[in-house]
Amino acid sequence: MSEINLANPEVAVREIRLGSITGFGGSAEELMQQSRCGLKDKGRSFSQCLGCSTAQAACMVTLIQDAAVISHGPVGCSSCLHEFAFTYRVNSPLRGIGTPTPRRIFSTNLAERDTIYGGAEKLAAAIREVYARTKANAIFVLTTCAAGIIGDDTESVCDEAEEELSIPVIAIFCEGFRSKVWTSGFDAGYHGIARKLIAPPRQRRTDIINVINFWGSDIFSEWFAPFGAKPNFITPYSTVESLKYASEAAATIQACQTLGSYLGAVLEKEFGVPEIKAAPPYGVAQTDHWFRTLGKLMGKEDEAEALIAEKKKEYLPGIAALREKLQGKTAYVTGGAAHGHALLSILGELGLTAIGASIFHHDPLYDNDAEDADALAASVKNYGDVPNFNVCNKQEFELVNTLSRLRPDVLLCRHGGMTLWGAKLGIPAQLIGDEHFGMGYEGIVRYGERILETLENDEFVKNLEKHAVNPYTKWWLSQDPLTFLEGHKSA
């Protein structure tokens, strides 16, 4: 079980804290079983670009309405953050933000000289300048590989600045080289928020439920109404003030446990906010169970039953109709841990056969240590085993090889860049960015309709297939896809 220590500036990365892995080949059930008895990671002797913690930490702090963000590193370590500025602006209507303010994103722009003499003074000056420029209600400082290796004392600089400026100045330790599981960056972001922003509860409120999520549509206001509660979204579109009193909520739920694992556990253990430990509501069985767990926690079990009955009456006929159309179709899933598992459940509910999956990492159990929260276990239990189940951190070469063998009817993706290879191989591929899109009974219908649409409109991918450029060698495409995974037969 993971330890939580908010006195420590850093939270341990997933590999250490949860025993998370990024390399596995087998079936979903095998992975699940091994997860309960000492799962071991496997390296690769060939690897392609991953992604790192600093971007994930940035993703959780950049979208806080009234905060500023400083990347303490060379200018390249904040290069992709403009995408969050775009997201913030474009999705703001989904959260009722009429006039989204520009995101304030800075780099300390470390240069060679700083790697020799240290970058601490530069950071201290940067924090002052950023405050003068933005008057932000909080400033987050993200560390990078360079700042980490040269050994800048980022924590002390932030503490001193906090005292001087009288606003929270929060060091987040998210150097890329520390973890191959980039979701460690989420934990790092939340650790900083929990240490410096979240205040002890003044009261316990029954009308607020924390929702740890990205920036999807608000389905929760409607869902929580029967329980007499409203969602408190963490962290995109939150404010420094709304985060501060996340400690007073009646409960915490998660759209994706690999995102909120750590913060959910911290809110429960350190601030007394109970976490809904059931696997998230994807597929009918998990949705039933999730609403019941929520009802029990809120002391409103009758309301939960009424809601389940009402929604099932409305959506089950639609699900059945979709199942008839989709029955027997094959699908391949690629995505982050918990959300990829969620997609498998949706597929199972819709009658499609998952013939494989490539999931970016695997957490044996989450920070809450609850087996009931294991989305993969729930999916296997409810919809059966999945063969060709790989844990693979976006290693495109493995994906291309696997897809060209399995040739599913449809490819479902959750992270950018992966649909391309479905399309190049003429396999209809879809990416749904809104993580709330497939939730609940209505989500199954929405997802099913989209899959049908993707299957029906395959003209684009069929044309692309004829002209696609493929940089992979014939040799590679004729090898076992796990050739370069440690412990597999060597090429």
Partner 1 sequence: MSGIIEQERYTCAIGALQTVVAIPRAVPILHSGPGCGNMIQGFFERSTGYAGGSTSPCTNFSEREVVFGGEDRLRENIRNTYRVLDTDLQVVLTGCTAGIVGDDVGAVCEEFRAEGKPLVAVETPGFQCNNFEAHSLVVNAIIDQYVALYEDENPARSEKNTVNLWASIPYQDPFWKGNLREYKRLIEGLGFRVHVLFGPDAAGVSEWQRIPRANFNILVSPWYGLPIAEHLKEKYGQPFTRFPSVPIGANETERFLRQALAFAGEHGAGFDTEQTENFLAREIGGYYEEIDNLATFLLEFRYGLPNHAHILHDAGYVVGLSKFLLHEVGIVPKEQFAVDGTPEAFQAEIRADLASASDKKTIPLYFEPDAGKAQDVIRGLSHSGRGIILGSGWDKELAKEKDFDFLSVSVPSPYRLTLTTNYVGFSGGLRVIEDIYDTVLATYR
* Of positions 23, 74, 168, 448, contacts partner 1 by CB under 8 A: 74
The answer to the question of residue 463 lying near partner 1 (CB under 8 A) is: no
Residue located via tokens 């997201």: 87
* φ, ψ at 104 (rounded to 5°): -105, 105
Name which of 330, 343, 329, 331 is nearest 414 in CA terms. Answer: 343
* Of positions 7, 37, 132, 469, contacts partner 1 by CB under 8 A: 469
Our CB check for partner 1 shows the closer of 178 and 195 to be 178
- Number of neighbours of residue 256 by Cβ within 10 angstroms: 27
* Of positions 2, 53, 353, 358, contacts partner 1 by CB under 8 A: 53
Shortest Cβ 101–partner 1 spacing (Å): 8
Our CB check for partner 1 shows the closer of 115 and 382 to be 115
Question: Coil, strand or helix: which one is 320?
Answer: helix
**Dist. CA 367–CA 443, nearest whole Å:** 27
Shortest Cβ 134–partner 1 spacing (Å): 9
Amino acid at 15: E
* DSSP 8-state class, residue 481: T
The answer to the question of residue 339 lying near partner 1 (CB under 8 A) is: no
**Dist. CA 212–CA 232, nearest whole Å:** 8
Tokens of 325: 């159309």
Residue located via tokens 């969050």: 84
The answer to the question of residue 118 lying near partner 1 (CB under 8 A) is: no
Residue located via tokens 């982050």: 336
The answer to the question of residue 102 lying near partner 1 (CB under 8 A) is: yes
Our CB check for partner 1 shows the closer of 85 and 370 to be 85
The answer to the question of residue 86 lying near partner 1 (CB under 8 A) is: yes
CB 72 within 8 A of CB 146: no
Site for partner 1 in 415-454 (CB under 8 A): 417-418, 420
Shortest Cβ 18–partner 1 spacing (Å): 17
Residues that contact partner 1, how many (by CB under 8 A): 71
Name which of 81, 150, 159, 80 is nearest 119 in CA terms. Answer: 150
* DSSP 8-state class, residue 362: B
The answer to the question of residue 482 lying near partner 1 (CB under 8 A) is: no
Site for partner 1 in 345-374 (CB under 8 A): none
Shortest Cβ 123–partner 1 spacing (Å): 9
The answer to the question of residue 460 lying near partner 1 (CB under 8 A) is: no
**Dist. CA 360–CA 338, nearest whole Å:** 10
The answer to the question of residue 25 lying near partner 1 (CB under 8 A) is: no
Name the one range near partner 1 by CB under 8 A: 122-130, 329-337, 375-383, 456-464: 122-130
Our CB check for partner 1 shows the closer of 101 and 221 to be 101
Tokens of 356: 């494989």
Helical segments of 107-153, H only? 112-117, 120-134, 145-150
The answer to the question of residue 132 lying near partner 1 (CB under 8 A) is: no
Residue located via tokens 């209809």: 428
The answer to the question of residue 142 lying near partner 1 (CB under 8 A) is: no
* Of positions 8, 93, 117, 133, contacts partner 1 by CB under 8 A: 133
The answer to the question of residue 455 lying near partner 1 (CB under 8 A) is: no
Question: Coil, strand or helix: which one is 483?
Answer: coil
Amino acid at 201: P
CB 232 within 8 A of CB 208: yes
The answer to the question of residue 54 lying near partner 1 (CB under 8 A) is: yes
Name the one range near partner 1 by CB under 8 A: 25-33, 42-50, 365-373, 450-458: 42-50
The answer to the question of residue 144 lying near partner 1 (CB under 8 A) is: yes
The answer to the question of residue 45 lying near partner 1 (CB under 8 A) is: yes
The answer to the question of residue 130 lying near partner 1 (CB under 8 A) is: yes
* Of positions 14, 394, 414, 436, contacts partner 1 by CB under 8 A: 394
* Of positions 396, 458, 465, 480, contacts partner 1 by CB under 8 A: 396
Q: For the purposes of burial, counting CB atoms within 10 Å of the CB of 247, is it exposed (0-12), middle (13-18) or buried (19 or more)?
A: buried
**Dist. CA 399–CA 2, nearest whole Å:** 32
The answer to the question of residue 105 lying near partner 1 (CB under 8 A) is: yes
The answer to the question of residue 73 lying near partner 1 (CB under 8 A) is: yes
Our CB check for partner 1 shows the closer of 71 and 252 to be 71
Tokens of 162: 């906090």
* Of positions 82, 204, 313, 405, contacts partner 1 by CB under 8 A: 82
Our CB check for partner 1 shows the closer of 78 and 235 to be 78
Shortest Cβ 378–partner 1 spacing (Å): 30
The answer to the question of residue 156 lying near partner 1 (CB under 8 A) is: no
Residues paired with 359 in a beta bridge:
335, 391
Our CB check for partner 1 shows the closer of 50 and 240 to be 50
* φ, ψ at 288 (rounded to 5°): -55, -50
The answer to the question of residue 136 lying near partner 1 (CB under 8 A) is: no
**CA dihedral sign, ordered 390, 394, 400, 403:** positive
Our CB check for partner 1 shows the closer of 199 and 420 to be 420
**Dist. CA 125–CA 142, nearest whole Å:** 15
The end-to-end CA distance of the chain, in Å, is 38
* DSSP 8-state class, residue 430: E
Site for partner 1 in 167-186 (CB under 8 A): 175-180, 182
The answer to the question of residue 113 lying near partner 1 (CB under 8 A) is: yes
Amino acid at 427: I
